[in-house]
Structure 1
Amino acid sequence: MSTSRKTVVADHLREALTRGDYQPGDRLPGEEELAERFDVSRATARLGMRILQDEGRITIQAGRGAFAADHQPIIHLATPISGGSDSERFEAGYQPHLREAGYYQVDEKIKVSLDTMRPKVAKRLRFDADENGPYGGLVVIRSCDRFVEGGLWQSQVTYFPFSIANNTALMSPERLDEGVSAVLRELGYREDWNWDIVGARMPSQDEADSFGLGPGIPLLVQERVAHEGERPLRFTETIMPANRHQLLYSGGDAPEELLLMASDVNIFER
């Protein structure tokens, strides 16, 4: 069986799905029809279909055939809304939204550690090795992995300068019900502004295994640095499989019901 031949089958079906030839739930041509159309064996046609199954583009049901997947990516609220909650408030915002989408086994695991700043973190937090005293090079790392139906769904890591987080609730491996920003306010720090960068990259093999990703599915990476004036208070990196998430940004005085209003928006619609 030739890898190139199964790729031809996969590419044809992928292009047809992208054009909108098949709507969510539509049945795709079977193995026998694809084998005849592309002059390959049924086994090769089956492998081509499995490529798209691994990508999340189709579902294969034993005895029934293959169907165009009904993509329902979850809205990730990338910016806080007035009176509402951001993506870091698990119980108040993220968890209920997942349950409304039909996911009921939703959990969150939090770990806290202390380490020296890696170059990437030092760059985001604009750390100078000659500043901030003997503990300036230390960073408190608050890791949060979110699981849906037992599988890793989203991974979020926040880095705080030790001088800010030491001996505070930020070092406790407990859920912060009011969110990180509220804890910082209680400590006397005000998040005046922040900047985000969002990009996509292919996962490492370890990441693909952790998220249960098939070939061809990239990760969305959202980086945020929050400042008080010119001083960076924290750096947060959120990693999300691109086929399961879509980021929602708002501007101006967005209403509290924005998340509900946008809940049926789907970038896979054509």
Structure 2
Amino acid sequence: MSTSKKTVVADHLREALSRGAYKPGERLPGEEELAERFGVSRATARLGMRILQDEGVIAIQAGRGAFVADHRPIVHLATPVSGGTDSERFEDGYQPHLREAGYDQVEQRIKVSLDTMRPRVAKRLRWGGEEEGPHGGLVVIRSCDRFVEGGLWQSQITYFPFTIASNTPLMAPQHLEQGVASVLRDLGHREEWNWDIVGARMPSQDEADSFNLGPGIPLLVHERVVYDGDRPLRFTETVMPANRHQLLYSGGEAPEELLLMASDVNIFER
């Protein structure tokens, strides 16, 4: 099967990008130049560039041209590491990394709501529908949207069984300075262990608009369920654009400088 002309254009550009012929943020040749170089029409050159835009490797700006995508993700601390705290701790864990990366306007907006335990949440919290009093099937939901320079950067939602969070500080739509784990501990629930799942998916149109994502950019989804013994205490889901975040896990006796070392790593480097 012969390769289409638009694919030829895309393949040549992709190869040039992979060997570093163009630097992140650099403007690419225009449609007319590419059409002449590859002996195709401008329309075909444009289609070839759109293939790379859909892959998230270039950004096409109306009236300005096409530019190499400049992905500079910050570290999302998936687990506590020496020199830093879990990214679930906004002021101690997530916010400082953004400020160190040069972002000045960083804020978190919290909402709290009450809902029935939907099947997806019930599955994570291992609630099988058995009654635990009149509110056994309810969850308290803490939503934390994190904004950078006015735009949505990361969204985190934590679900607590109503029997745990009812009439506690967890239901207040305010920043918990001491952190969720400390509040739970004060309530007699100790976070003994957890499991995490990390995956990637393409955003819905609403999510793409909310995060201001261009074509070809997936979302990272980080799920965590925390237990006290065999009892689930909470289910936390963090959704974040893959071009802005990279997850850091550590094990063993990691050195104090690990956070600094990892902050200098960019998975998009070629």
Q: Answer yes or no: same fold by TM over 0.5.
A: yes
- Which residue is equivalent to 2:211? 211
Distance (Å, rounded) in 2 between the aligned partners of 1:28 and 1:220: 28
Distance (Å, rounded) in 2 between the aligned partners of 1:83 and 1:167: 34
Distance (Å, rounded) in 1 between the aligned partners of 2:216 and 2:50: 12
- Which residue is equivalent to 2:33? 33
User: What SS does the corresponding residue of 1:114 show, helix, strand or coil?
Assistant: strand
Question: Offset of 1:253 from its aligned partner?
Answer: 3.0
- Which residue is equivalent to 1:242? 242
- Which residue is equivalent to 1:123? 123
User: What SS does the corresponding residue of 1:198 show, helix, strand or coil?
Assistant: strand
Distance (Å, rounded) in 2 between the aligned partners of 1:267 and 1:74: 10
Distance (Å, rounded) in 2 between the aligned partners of 1:82 and 1:124: 29
8-17 or 185-194, which moves further after superposition? 8-17
- Which residue is equivalent to 1:188? 188
Question: Offset of 1:223 from its aligned partner?
Answer: 0.5
182-191 or 167-176, which moves further after superposition? 182-191
- Which residue is equivalent to 2:201? 201
1:90-132 CA-to-partner distances (Å, cap 9, x unmatched) read: 1222112111112222121111000010101000000121142
Distance (Å, rounded) in 1 between the aligned partners of 2:89 and 2:157: 14
Distance (Å, rounded) in 2 between the aligned partners of 1:66 and 1:156: 33
Question: Offset of 1:193 from its aligned partner?
Answer: 0.7
Does the 8 A contact of 1:92 with 1:177 survive in 2? no
Distance (Å, rounded) in 2 between the aligned partners of 1:18 and 1:197: 30
Question: Offset of 1:70 from its aligned partner?
Answer: 3.1
Letter of the 1:168 counterpart:
T
Using a 3 Å threshold, how does the CA distance of structure 1 residues 45 and 103 change in structure 2: closer, same or farther? farther
1:56-96 CA-to-partner distances (Å, cap 9, x unmatched) read: 53356899864433321111110012573111111222112
The count of corresponding residues between Structure 1 and Structure 2 is 267
Aligned ranges for residues 75-224 of structure 1 at < 5 Å?
A: 75-81=75-81, 84-224=84-224
Letter of the 2:199 counterpart:
G
Distance (Å, rounded) in 1 between the aligned partners of 2:109 and 2:68: 33
Gaps of 5+ in 1: none
Distance (Å, rounded) in 2 between the aligned partners of 1:190 and 1:178: 14
Does the 8 A contact of 1:114 with 1:141 survive in 2? yes
Question: Offset of 1:51 from its aligned partner?
Answer: 6.0
Does the 8 A contact of 2:83 with 2:257 survive in 1? no
Distance (Å, rounded) in 1 between the aligned partners of 2:173 and 2:51: 39
Distance (Å, rounded) in 2 between the aligned partners of 1:137 and 1:11: 53
Does the 8 A contact of 1:55 with 1:213 survive in 2? no
Matched residues, percent identical? 82
Does the 8 A contact of 1:217 with 1:243 survive in 2? yes
Does the 8 A contact of 1:117 with 1:139 survive in 2? yes
Distance (Å, rounded) in 2 between the aligned partners of 1:227 and 1:109: 26
Question: Offset of 1:23 from its aligned partner?
Answer: 3.5
Does the 8 A contact of 1:54 with 1:213 survive in 2? no
Gaps of 5+ in 2: none
179-188 or 234-243, which moves further after superposition? 179-188
Asked if 1:18 is matched to 2:31, the reply is no
71-80 or 15-24, which moves further after superposition? 15-24
Distance (Å, rounded) in 1 between the aligned partners of 2:208 and 2:63: 29
